[in-house]
Amino acid sequence: TAGPLLLRLLDWVRLHVCDVDSMVREVLSSETPSKHKLFWNVVDVFVLQGRMDEARHLLSKEASANPTSMNMYKILDDLMKKMPVPSLGNTQTLTELELKWQHWHEECQRYLQDGTFASNPHMESICKILLGDEDAILEKKELMTTWYHFLVTRLLYSHPTVKPMELQFYAQSSMDLFLGGESSPEPLDMILMAAFEFEMHQVIKECSIVLSNWWFVAHLTDLLDHCKLLQSHNLYFGSNMREFLLLEYASGLFSHHSLWQLGVDYFDHCPEYGRVYLELHIERIPLSTEQKALKVLRICEQRQMHEQVRSVCKIMAMKALRNNRLGSALSWSIRAKDAAFATLISDRFLKDYCERGCFSDLDLIDNLGPSMLLSDRLTFLGKYREFHRLYGEKRFPEAARLLLTLMTAHIAPCSFWMTLLTDALPLLEQKEVIFSAEQTYELMRCLEDLTAGNPEKQKFQDDDVETTKVEMLRLALARNLARVIIKEGTVEGS
């Protein structure tokens, strides 16, 4: 069809060759443009870019300034007005256009040969350009600045009905003519050449080599893929070109301190390997603040990446633990539902208690709430603290009952039994009898279990302090038993 390829090419050139814009502005805004030294340059620019109306408008200023050249001007203006160009609507067939163009071309030729413009070299040069004279056009190299501008101008004035598939032939010769052996093609030139040849894969390859990051290539390929213009053959390692490039680009984003969030979206749109890449990258984001860690976690949770959730929470929990922020550590374990870590934290608390004789971070332990159930050790910690609270409030029977439950229900770890039994001592020594007979028997059983259990433990318990403790306990238990038997055997009143 007498399609608008040329028109599109003209638009493209007008958009991209903007070195001349400032010059154009300068001349247009001057008092008397026709007297400006760059006046003819600007007219030439308009002609070279096919901007006929603007060229004619400027020329009219020249005409009114120089009445002597009125005749020449009228003819040139007429030629420019009549020039046939492919139109957007299909109002004419290809043959019609070619015919008209041939006639117009011949008319221009006649005027030139008649010497109509001989007295004004500028106008003569314009006429030659209209005729598609390559040398005349090439003289205006500086105004075109690039070989592809030259290509389009050439096409405009010699092959206006050019078809897409014919571009490559004109492209190569245009580049050769323009560079004229003085300079060699630059990478961008090779990319454009590949584009004119409709070699999309070549374009992508050239861009990949030349450009400093994957942004352009990835998005271009993605667009081409969506338009189904890219015959995506599978690359040997499994994913297609589009996905490969998007993965590369997104991976690059992840090394940036804030753009990694965008990388996530890109991975989401890579059906084959996106998830795997995301899993690997997201674990490596530096978690400099808790807020950043929370953002990472949210992304993982939204995508059911449970392993990464656990991993991030564990990193944060370990950091918190090292910094002695036990509450924070617990908070991270709760988020990850990490029972093992919760146990670790509880052990840390218990260790602190054994070393210092009091609890740290009571605000945390006293307010564990349902999270206490996350791990047995944590439950024990909460209940143990409750025991101390009850004791402090002098609610001895309740405290006693709780203490016993901690041992008999196996909530307490075996390592802690000695401490618990030692905690029972003050209760046994009270004036009032607190433990019932049955409870005392239970305690005694616990003590026996503890001491008789492991023969190896026996060796360690040769240590004086330990043996003294055990003996004291046995004595206290026996005394308590004696008192409670009497008490329970006595009839009240009378």
Partner 1 sequence: QDNRVSIWSAGDLGNAALNGEYHGEPHLLCDIEHNGDVMDMQFLDQERIVVASSTGAVTIFRHHQNNQTLSANHQWEKAHYHVDQDTSCGGAACTGVVCNNPEIVTVGEDGRINLFRADQKDAVRTIDNADSSTLHAVTFLRTTEILTVNSIGQLKIWDLRQQRNEPSQIFSLAGDRVPLHCVDRHPNQQHIVATGGQDGMLSIWDIRQGAMPVSLLNAHEAEMWEVHFHPSDPDHLFTCSEDGSLWHWDTSTNVSEKPSFFHQGGRSTAYLSHSTINQSVVSAWLSNDPTKDRMEITNLIPNQTLSVNSLDVLGPCLVYGTDAEAIYVNRQLFA
CB of 367 to partner 1, least distance (A): 6
Q: For partner 1, give the closer residue by CB, 126 or 293.
A: 293
What value does the CA radius of gyration of the chain take, rounded to a whole number of Å? Answer: 46
CB under 8 A: which stretch of 102-110, 138-146, 361-369, 454-462 binds partner 1? 361-369
The reply to whether 319 sits near partner 1 by the rule CB under 8 A is yes
Q: Nearest approach, Cβ of 100 to partner 1 (angstroms)? A: 50
Least spacing, CB of residue 352 vs partner 1, in Å: 11
C-beta neighbour count of 472 within 10 angstroms = 15
Amino acid residing at 85: V
Smallest separation, CB 334 to partner 1 (Å):
6
Q: How many other C-beta atoms are found inside a 10 Å radius of the C-beta of residue 311?
A: 16
Instruction: Answer for the pair 76, 126: CB distance below 8 angstroms, yes or no.
Output: yes
Amino acid at 78: D
CA nearest to 371, candidates 420, 431, 329 = 329
Provide, rounded to whole angstroms, the least separation between the CB of residue 480 and partner 1: 37
With contacts defined by CB under 8 A, how many residues of the chain interact with partner 1?
31
370 is an interface residue for partner 1 by CB under 8 A: yes
261 binds partner 1 (CB under 8 A): yes
Q: How far apart are CA 91 and CA 462, in angstroms?
A: 112
- Min separation Cβ 300 and partner 1, Å: 12
Smallest gap from Cβ 276 to partner 1, in A, equals 23
**Nearest approach, Cβ of 371 to partner 1 (angstroms)?**
5
Residue 145 tokens, joined? 């600045």
Nearer to partner 1, 158 or 261 (CB): 261
Which range of residues in 144-152, 225-233, 360-368, 472-480 is near partner 1 by CB under 8 A?
Answer: 360-368
What is the closest distance, in whole angstroms, from the C-beta atom of residue 321 to partner 1 in the complex?
Answer: 10
Choose the stretch contacting partner 1; rule: CB under 8 A; options: 101-109, 199-207, 256-264, 446-454.
256-264
- Scanning 233-273, the segments in alpha helix (DSSP H) are 241-253, 260-268
Among 113, 288, 490, 494, contact with partner 1 (rule: CB under 8 A):
288
> Which CB atom, from 76 or from 287, has the smaller least distance to partner 1?
287
Closest CA to 450 of 426, 423, 470, 464: 470
478 SS3 class? helix
Binding mask 293-312 for partner 1 (x = CB under 8 A): -xx--x--------------
Buried b (16+ CB within 10 A) or exposed e, 98-113: eeebeeebeebeebbe
The β-bridge partners of 234 are 240
Quote the longest CA-to-CA distance of the chain.
151
The residue among 137 and 372 lying less far from partner 1, judged by its C-beta, is 372
- Helix 187-196 with 167-179: angle, nearest 10 deg: 160
| Contacts with partner 1, 322-351, as mask; x by CB under 8 A | xxxxxxx-xx--xx----------------
Nearer to partner 1, 362 or 425 (CB): 362
Nearer Cβ to partner 1 (90/323): 323
Give the distance, in angstroms, between the CA of residue 489 and the centroid of all CA atoms in the same chain.
78
Q: Looking at beta carbons, which pairs linking 84-92 to residues 24 or more positions away fall under 8 Å?
A: 84/160, 85/6, 85/7, 85/50, 85/160, 86/2, 86/3, 86/4, 86/5, 86/6, 86/7, 86/160, 86/161, 87/2, 87/4, 88/4, 88/7, 90/1, 90/2, 92/2
The reply on whether position 291 binds partner 1 by CB under 8 A is yes
Of 257 and 356, which has the nearer Cβ to partner 1? Answer: 257
> 121-130 vs 94-114: helix axis angle to the nearest 10?
150
Contact window for partner 1 (CB under 8 A) among 12-20, 138-146, 158-166, 366-374: 366-374
- Closer to partner 1 at the Cβ: 123 or 381? 381
Of 113, 212, 258, 494, which one interacts with partner 1 (CB under 8 A)?
A: 258
427: Cα within 13 Å, side-chain hemisphere? 29
Give the nearest distance from C-beta 246 to partner 1 in angstroms: 19
Which of 59, 72, 350, 368 contacts partner 1 by CB under 8 A?
A: 368
Task: Give min distance, CB of 394 to partner 1, in A.
Answer: 22
Pick 184 or 288: Cβ nearer partner 1:
288
The terminus-to-terminus CA distance of the chain in angstroms comes to: 125
Q: Is 240 in a helix, a strand, or coil?
A: strand
Q: Tell me how far, at minimum, the Cβ of 482 lies from partner 1, in Å.
A: 44
Which segment (71-79, 90-98, 234-242, 369-377) binds partner 1 by CB under 8 A? 369-377
Residues that bind partner 1 (CB under 8 A): 257-258, 261, 288-291, 294-295, 298, 319, 322-328, 330-331, 334-335, 360-361, 363-364, 367-371
